[in-house]
Amino acid sequence: MRSPHRLLILLFLALVVAGAANPATASTHPVHAAHAIVVSVHELASHVGVKIMQAGGNAVDAAVATGFALAVVHPAAGNIGGGGFMLIRMADGKARFLDYREMAPAAATRDMYLDPQGNVIEGASDIGYKAIGVPGSVAGMVYAEQKFGKLTLKQVMAPAIQLAREGYALSWEEAVDLHDRHLAEFPESRRVFQRSGDYYKPGEVFRQPDLARTLERIAEKPDDFYHGSLARELAAAMQKGGGLITADDLARYEVKEREPVRGTYRGYEVISAPPPSSGGAVLIEILNILEGYDLGKMGERSAQSMHYTVEAFRRAFFDRAEFMGDPDFAKIPVAQLIDKRYAAAWLETIDPAHATPSKDLKRPAVFSALEQYAAGHPPVMAPHESNHTTHYSVMDADGNAVAVTTTINDWFGSRVTADGLGFLLNDEMDDFSSKPGVPNGDGLIQSNTNAIGPGKRPLSSMTPTMVVRDGKTVMVLGSPGSSKIITTVANVLMGVVDYGMNIQEAVNAPRFHNQWMPDVVNVEQWFSPDTVNLLQHMGYDVEVGLHYGTHVAPYWSDAECIAVDAKTGERLGASDVRDGGKAVGY
């Protein structure tokens, strides 16, 4: 259930995006770059990454530089106070996945967001100090730089420090965004981002001296953020505001290198995010089911191809709800979920002419491991997940590639700025199930797999993904958008592989989404009424846009992707017109 303040934010954002360009009339040509490219939601951040590669850095150097720059120029989602996932695939074929997701502090408890009557306390898990998970972004970016970069941390952080100190001119959207009313609830956020009520105007230069100083301290002594004076200052600010994070929590934080999830789709290898993200496993399960159909022949966005795609989405999200969580706290049966025999059995359950009601789904009995697990873990409604994350993709001249999806969860996170440190903290605790073990409004039982627990990482949908052909990375994909991240990445990938689109056309193409529950198909506003009619005749409850009470968001997600031209080897960058990002290359 969404809170009234979320609805207001969504309405506000809908008004902000109303002026955005229409993918249907946007350029269908990706940006061509002979050597290297960065695609992100902010032109300045993309330029930073490119400059770092021109100065001799590799894709990892560029990704880390871009990440720190986004923390300056895109404070609504770019961050050093949140977490993320970085998928790296070097030109030699080695793939690595860095998990620097936020972690619940030691004092976190399963029922911390419930009142004495056992009801969820409105807003407690998403606004303010108690919503904050131990941030992982600094650890993750420093780890990546030190292990896989060619330059020094100081070199790659220098552009972000300069942007913070000298400032940058705010666009109209950025200036409007900074009016966020929840930022105003926290004096330090109001001081830093709203100039204590004298709001920044479009075109005005926004300088962040506190953040510049914090970034300098990290560049000088990265360990300080978790083990030194920065950790102590951050912990003191959290304690003062009533938060749970202590210096010990920060000291305990660690980056985890995990095995990425791997699958194949029509001759391509797909490499993606493992748990605690559900993204990779759900994406590959979807693709495995769809491999059984000749989608290209049915036609791009035809009702028939959409029908099969939605049925695959529905089944994979049903499994997501049941099986996904932090792999350090529960055994997640990923191998079975991405097994092609399992997909083939799911495909048998799809009626070619009719929608399957979500409530009637029955998991095929292929693997006893799935059945045993399912018996103890009834399916759950996904908790609310924020749309406000950001993704960026990088490829260098040698063919090394990096896909990063990073988040502070909601737009401007918890809205808390650490006293004197100049950066916003996440509200990632909201990605846990706040009320496990009790039937929700739809009569479904919340599972323990994603219950709050000390040291645990909340379930994510972030899906940084690479597609490989003949040993070479040919696509770097990703998007924000909570559960819609997964269907957005699937839609973009299928746009290229099944429907022969170039990467920009695939990013532009209208999106559709189903996540098992609620049992609706959301379609972006550019679908024809004829297609909607055909889907309705198949039994679908179709909603145009995303409906939040009386408010409707006409479109969603912000894919920032790269493909490689098979003939010329050029890097082709596709930034999503829906959110005004930029592909920059050389």
Residues annotated as catalytic are 389
Using CB under 6 A, pick the residue from 246, 309, 386, 465 that binds ligand GLY: 386
**Residue 312 CB, nearest distance to ligand GLY (Å)?**
20
487 binds ligand GLY (CB under 6 A): no
CA distances from 427 to 119, 186, 516, 548 (A): 19, 14, 25, 20
Q: Are strands 83-89 and 401-407 parallel, antiparallel or unpaired?
A: antiparallel
- 46 or 409: CB nearest ligand GLY: 409
- 390 or 446: CB nearest ligand GLY: 390
- 301 or 578: CB nearest ligand GLY: 578
Q: Could you tell me how many residues make up the chain?
A: 586
Half-sphere exposure of 513 (CA within 13 A, CB side): 26
For residue 341, the 8-state DSSP code is: H
* Residue 234 one-letter amino acid: L
* Residue 427 one-letter amino acid: D
Using CB under 6 A, pick the residue from 40, 358, 389, 522 that binds ligand GLY: 389
**Residue 462 CB, nearest distance to ligand GLY (Å)?**
5
Q: Pick the stretch among 68-76, 175-183, 206-214, 381-389 that binds ligand GLY (CB under 6 A).
A: 381-389
**Residue 289 CB, nearest distance to ligand GLY (Å)?**
22
Using CB under 6 A, pick the residue from 40, 246, 393, 407 that binds ligand GLY: 407
Q: Report the residue closest to ligand GLY, judged by CB.
A: 460
Positive or negative torsion for Cα 432, 434, 435, 441: negative
**Residue 301 CB, nearest distance to ligand GLY (Å)?**
26
Q: Pick the stretch among 132-140, 382-390, 471-479, 489-497 that binds ligand GLY (CB under 6 A).
A: 382-390
For residue 133, the 8-state DSSP code is: P
- 446 or 488: CB nearest ligand GLY: 488
Residue 115-154 contact track with ligand GLY, rule CB under 6 A, x = bound: ----------------------------------------
**Residue 407 CB, nearest distance to ligand GLY (Å)?**
5
Tokens of 585: 């290359």
**Residue 84 CB, nearest distance to ligand GLY (Å)?**
9
Cα distance between residue 402 and residue 353, in whole Å: 40
Q: Pick the stretch among 225-233, 384-392, 465-473, 573-581 that binds ligand GLY (CB under 6 A).
A: 384-392
Query: Pick from 198, 515, 254: which is nearest to 381 by CA?
Result: 515
Tokens of 193: 């981002």
Q: Looking at the DSSP assignment, which residues form a beta bridge with residue 84?
A: 100, 406
434 binds ligand GLY (CB under 6 A): no
**Residue 36 CB, nearest distance to ligand GLY (Å)?**
28
Using CB under 6 A, pick the residue from 177, 180, 431, 498 that binds ligand GLY: 431
Cis peptide before 454 (omega within 30 of 0): no
Size of the site for ligand GLY (CB under 6 A): 10
* Residue 137 one-letter amino acid: S
- 447 or 508: CB nearest ligand GLY: 447
**Residue 387 CB, nearest distance to ligand GLY (Å)?**
8
> If you write DSSP's letter for every residue of 474-543 in order, what string do you get?
EEEE---STHHHHHHHHHHHHHHHTT---HHHHHHSPPEE--SSS--EEE-TTS-HHHHHHHHHTT--EE
Using CB under 6 A, pick the residue from 358, 433, 447, 482 that binds ligand GLY: 482
Cα distance between residue 238 and residue 50, in whole Å: 36
Cα distance between residue 503 and residue 563, in whole Å: 6
Q: Pick the stretch among 46-54, 175-183, 196-204, 385-393 that binds ligand GLY (CB under 6 A).
A: 385-393
* Residue 259 one-letter amino acid: E
- 199 or 548: CB nearest ligand GLY: 548
Residue 448-477 contact track with ligand GLY, rule CB under 6 A, x = bound: ------------xxx---------------
For residue 179, the 8-state DSSP code is: T
447 binds ligand GLY (CB under 6 A): no
Using CB under 6 A, pick the residue from 385, 505, 560, 576 that binds ligand GLY: 385
Q: Looking at the DSSP assignment, which residues form a beta bridge with residue 2?
A: none
**Residue 368 CB, nearest distance to ligand GLY (Å)?**
30
Cα distance between residue 499 and residue 401, in whole Å: 24
Strands (E), 293-445: 389-395, 401-407
- Residue 164 has phi, psi (to 5 degrees) of -70, -40
406 binds ligand GLY (CB under 6 A): no
409 binds ligand GLY (CB under 6 A): yes
Q: Which helix or strand (DSSP H or E) is residue 562 part of?
A: strand 560-564
Q: Is-contact 393 211, C-beta < 8 A?
A: no
Positions 161 through 180 that interact with ligand GLY (CB under 6 A): none
Q: How many CB atoms lie within 10 A of CB 190?
A: 16
Per CB under 6 A, residues contacting ligand GLY are 385-386, 389, 407, 409, 431, 460-462, 482
